[in-house]
């Protein structure tokens, strides 16, 4: 086991929800953290909170599906915080609809943010990881990768991320870089709150109903995902690569 030479992490979609919790947790683990998101103000306030707690952090606004913005942002992180050795591809959107009502725009935007975004971010960051001979990539998949009504675009993207994860593990392993995916079940965030609104049910009722179907009888919180991420980016996880870890309060098919 070789220790990380540069403890600098990038978390995308870090302005809120799971990404914000992951950024806070990695900062608590001693990483300098770059918070990247479309919402630049949200990233900056997250970074300010980490700095106020004695950590090092940087907030950067970007669209992960734009190659030029991705390359410029990752270079900026390297200059201001140091070479990034951890990347958490978490930025995501939903544009749910049944197949016969799903527009091409709904398909393209979901595929672009999750798949193109994770590809572009991984391509930009791997340079620093392979140079350092140590790296960790964690991709946010979903239980929806197994199929979910109204989510042809999202489930395709989340299944695609599992394939990307395994290929990154195969290509980058000899450089000391691992790649794993976390596939969350129901996590209480703005994303699931928006789903409740779209379906016309209260978020509280939706969580209660979901909890009844989950073996541990509760919905997940962003911190549940942050804890598993902290393990996957640690030295303890150096022999874990190319895996998909379902974090869903019970087994999934
Ligand atoms: P969230 O609260 O909606 O946060 C997602 C963040 O990603 C937002 O801050 C959003 O920015 C940002 N983002 C969207 N498009 C972006 C882009 N093109 N470039 C940069 N940032 C972008 O979602 P969440 O629930 O925390 O989900 C985080 C990840 O976990 C997603 O990949 C999601 O698919 C996955 N996941 C979530 C659940 C769940 O139950 N919540 C379950 C399984 C998987 P804006 O605020 O500007 O839109």
- Per-residue pLDDT of 181-213, as tens digits, reads 999 999 999 999 999 999 999 999 999 999 999
Single out the catalytic residue among 107, 154, 186, 246. Answer: 154
Say if CB 203 and CB 209 are below 8 A apart: no
- Per-residue pLDDT of 134-152, as tens digits, reads 999 999 999 999 999 999 9
Query: Does the structure show a pLDDT above 80 at 252?
Result: no
Query: Does the structure show a pLDDT above 70 at 171?
Result: yes
191 CA from centroid of ligand 1 (Å) = 7
pLDDT of 44 reads 97
| Percentage with pLDDT > 70 across the chain | 98
* pLDDT bracket for residue 5 (50, 70, 90): confident
- Which residue has the least CA distance to atom 41 on ligand 1? 187
Q: How many CB atoms lie within 10 A of CB 101?
A: 9
State if pTM tops 0.85.
Answer: yes
Q: Phi and psi at residue 62, in whole multiples of 5°?
A: -165, 165
Query: Does the structure show a pLDDT above 60 at 3?
Result: no
pLDDT of 16 reads 97
Q: How many CB atoms lie within 10 A of CB 55?
A: 19
| Ligand 1 neighbourhood includes 18 CB (under 6 angstroms) | yes
154 a catalytic residue: yes
pLDDT of 21 reads 98
- Which residue has the least CA distance to atom 35 on ligand 1? 140
Contacts of 174 (CB under 8 A, 6+ apart): none
| Helix pair angle (117-132, 67-80), 10° resolution | 30
Q: How many CB atoms lie within 10 A of CB 201?
A: 12
What's the whole-number average pLDDT of the chain?
Answer: 97
Strand order in the sheet with 32-37: 57-61, 32-37, 8-12, 86-89, 135-140, 177-184, 244-247
Q: Which of 114, 134, 113, 121 is nearest to 8 (CA)?
A: 134
Report the topology of domain 8-185+222-246.
Rossmann fold (3.40.50)
| Ligand 1 neighbourhood includes 196 CB (under 6 angstroms) | no
Q: Which of 37, 66, 70, 35 is nearest to 50 (CA)?
A: 35
pLDDT of 212 reads 97
Query: Does the structure show a pLDDT above 70 at 4?
Result: no
| Ligand 1 neighbourhood includes 176 CB (under 6 angstroms) | no
**Probe ligand 1: pick from 10, 12, 13, max atoms within 8 Å of CB?**
13
21 CA from centroid of ligand 1 (Å) = 12
- Per-residue pLDDT of 11-67, as tens digits, reads 999 999 999 999 999 999 999 999 999 999 999 999 999 999 999 999 999 999 999
| Ligand 1 neighbourhood includes 150 CB (under 6 angstroms) | no
Say if CB 75 and CB 121 are below 8 A apart: no
Query: Does the structure show a pLDDT above 70 at 158?
Result: yes
Residues carrying CATH 3.40.50.720, the chain: 8-185+222-246
| Ligand 1 neighbourhood includes 96 CB (under 6 angstroms) | no
| Ligand 1 neighbourhood includes 113 CB (under 6 angstroms) | yes
């Amino acid at each position: 086991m070789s220790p990380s030479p540069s403890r600098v992490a990038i978390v995308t979609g870090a302005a809120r929800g799971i990404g914000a919790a992951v950024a806070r947790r990695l900062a608590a683990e001693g990483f300098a953290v770059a918070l990247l998101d479309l919402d630049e103000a949200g990233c900056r306030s997250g970074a300010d909170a980490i700095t106020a707690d004695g950590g090092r952090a940087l907030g950067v606004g970007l669209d992960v599906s734009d190659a030029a913005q991705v390359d410029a942002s990752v270079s900026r992180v390297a200059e201001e915080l140091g070479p990034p050795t951890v990347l958490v591809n978490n930025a995501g959107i939903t544009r749910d609809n049944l197949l016969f009502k799903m527009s091409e725009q709904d398909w393209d935007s979901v595929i672009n943010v999750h798949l193109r975004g994770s590809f572009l971010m991984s391509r930009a960051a791997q340079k620093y990881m392979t140079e350092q001979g140590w790296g960790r990539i964690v991709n946010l998949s979903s239980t929806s990768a197994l199929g979910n009504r109204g989510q042809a675009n999202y489930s395709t993207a989340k299944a695609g991320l599992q394939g990307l994860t395994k290929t990154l593990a195969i290509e980058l392993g000899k450089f000391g870089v691992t790649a794993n995916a976390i596939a969350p079940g129901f996590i209480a965030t703005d994303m699931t709150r928006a789903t409740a609104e779209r379906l016309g049910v209260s978020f509280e009722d939706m969580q209660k109903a979901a909890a009844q179907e989950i073996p541990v009888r509760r919905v997940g919180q962003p911190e549940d995902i942050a804890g598993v991420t902290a393990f996957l980016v640690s030295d303890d996880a150096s022999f874990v690569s190319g895996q998909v870890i379902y974090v869903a309060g019970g087994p999934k098919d």
